[in-house]
């Protein structure tokens, strides 16, 4: 799903501010998508222009006004169409695998250091996921919980794969080879 569909999906539950959308995004899709917080506000502006959402200012005393975004009937239709549409397999991008392919050009120490650094970053994502577990379990519907558990397993498996690769790197002497013809 694209960022527009994700935002529409959140707004199917209730009207939200940009801040609330960022919060929902951070405890759900930030672990599983390449979208950044920076993509949310431009998407909201474009979706408002397309008539998929409306923005209603909420006046507050002593603090800046809130902008509450609500999905329109057209937005609901677009969201449900994207949800019901085909779900093609998406190729996963992996900077680690791309670099691993060329590790023959690094020293054994550099290979292991790079792999361990990547492992540490994946483990940090795992810790962050586990830190959100209570909040997610308290508020998630069964499908959101399935999504969360899938992500936990995915990162656990990724950690195991990287760890196995590090063991192999520690036990392998690689000689430079010519690329295939």
In a domain, 80, yes or no: yes
Give the per-residue pLDDT at 74. Answer: 98
In a domain, 124, yes or no: yes
- Sign of the dihedral through C-alpha 123, 127, 130, 135: negative
**pLDDT tens by residue, 13-55:** 999 998 899 888 877 766 666 666 778 889 999 999 999 999 9
Residues 64 and 99 in one domain: no
The whole-model pTM stands at 0.76
**Stretch (H or E) spanning 133:** helix 133-139
Give the per-residue pLDDT at 102. Answer: 94
Q: Reply yes or no on whether the pLDDT at 159 is more than 70.
A: yes
Q: Reply yes or no on whether the pLDDT at 9 is more than 70.
A: yes
Contact in structure between 72 and 56 (CB atoms under 8 Å): no
Residues 53 and 17 in one domain: yes
What's the average model confidence in pLDDT over 84-103? 89
- Which of 34, 54, 84 is a domain's end point? 84
Strand pairing report for 16-17 and 66-71:
antiparallel
Alpha helices in 27-107 (DSSP H): 40-49, 73-84, 95-101
Q: What is the chain's Cα-based Rg? A: 21
Q: Please name every residue paired with 56 in a beta bridge, in sequence order, or none if there are none.
A: 68
Average pLDDT along the chain:
88
What's the average model confidence in pLDDT over 93-108? 92
Q: Reply yes or no on whether the pLDDT at 180 is more than 80.
A: no
In a domain, 161, yes or no: yes
31-50 burial: b if 16+ Cβ within 10 Å, else e: beeebeeebbeebbeebbee
- Domain total of the chain: 2
Give the per-residue pLDDT at 117. Answer: 97
C-alpha dist (Å) from residue 115 to 3, 29, 78, 81, 127 = 31, 25, 42, 41, 18
Contact in structure between 52 and 43 (CB atoms under 8 Å): no
**pLDDT tens by residue, 135-157:** 888 888 899 899 889 989 999 99
Report helix angle 73-84 to 3-11, nearest 10.
Answer: 120
Helices (H) and strands (E) in the chain, counts: 8, 3
């Amino acid at each position: 799903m694209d960022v527009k569909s994700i935002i529409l999906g959140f707004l199917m539950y209730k009207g939200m501010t940009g801040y609330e959308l960022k919060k929902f995004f951070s405890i759900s899709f930030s672990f599983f998508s390449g979208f950044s917080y920076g993509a949310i506000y431009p998407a909201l502006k474009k979706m408002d222009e397309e008539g998929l959402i409306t923005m209603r200012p909420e006046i507050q005393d002593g603090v800046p006004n809130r902008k509450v975004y609500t999905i329109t009937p057209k937005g609901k239709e677009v969201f449900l169409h994207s949800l019901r549409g085909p779900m093609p397999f998406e190729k996963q991008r992996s900077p680690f695998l791309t670099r691993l392919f060329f590790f023959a050009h690094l020293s054994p120490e550099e290979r292991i250091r790079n792999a361990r650094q990547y492992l540490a970053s994946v483990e940090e994502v795992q810790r962050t996921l586990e830190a959100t577990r209570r909040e997610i379990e308290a508020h998630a519907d069964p499908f959101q919980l399935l999504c969360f558990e899938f992500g936990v397993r995915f990162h656990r498996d990724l950690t195991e794969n990287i760890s196995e690769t590090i063991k192999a790197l520690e036990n392998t002497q690689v000689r430079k080879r010519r690329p295939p013809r």
